[in-house]
Amino acid sequence: MPLLWGLAAALGIAVVLVVLIKAWPLLHPSVSEQAPLNPDCDLLSQGCSVWLASGAEVELDIQPRGIPAVHPLSLQVSLDGLPLPPQRVEIDFAGVEMAMGFNRTALDWDADAGAWKGQGMLPVCVRDRMTWEARVLLHYPDRLLAAPFRFVSLRPGEH
Residues 12 and 37 placed together within one structural domain of the fold: no
Residues 25 and 64 placed together within one structural domain of the fold: no
pLDDT tens sequence for the chain (159 residues):
677 777 766 677 766 665 555 554 555 568 889 999 999 999 999 999 999 999 999 999 999 999 988 889 999 999 999 999 999 999 999 988 887 778 899 999 999 999 999 999 988 777 778 899 999 999 999 999 999 999 998 766 655
Residues 26 and 83 placed together within one structural domain of the fold: no
Determine how many CB atoms are found less than 10 A away from the CB of residue 89. 25
Three-class DSSP category at 84: coil
Q: How far apart are the first and last CA of the chain?
A: 62
Residues 18 and 56 placed together within one structural domain of the fold: no
Residue-range definition of the domain harbouring residue 102: 32-154
Pairing of the two strands 57-63 and 73-80: antiparallel
Residue 159 lies in a domain: no
**What's the whole-model pTM score?**
0.79
Three-class DSSP category at 113: coil
Residues 8 and 41 placed together within one structural domain of the fold: no
Residues 10 and 71 placed together within one structural domain of the fold: no
**CA distance linking residue 78 with residue 58, whole number of Å:** 6
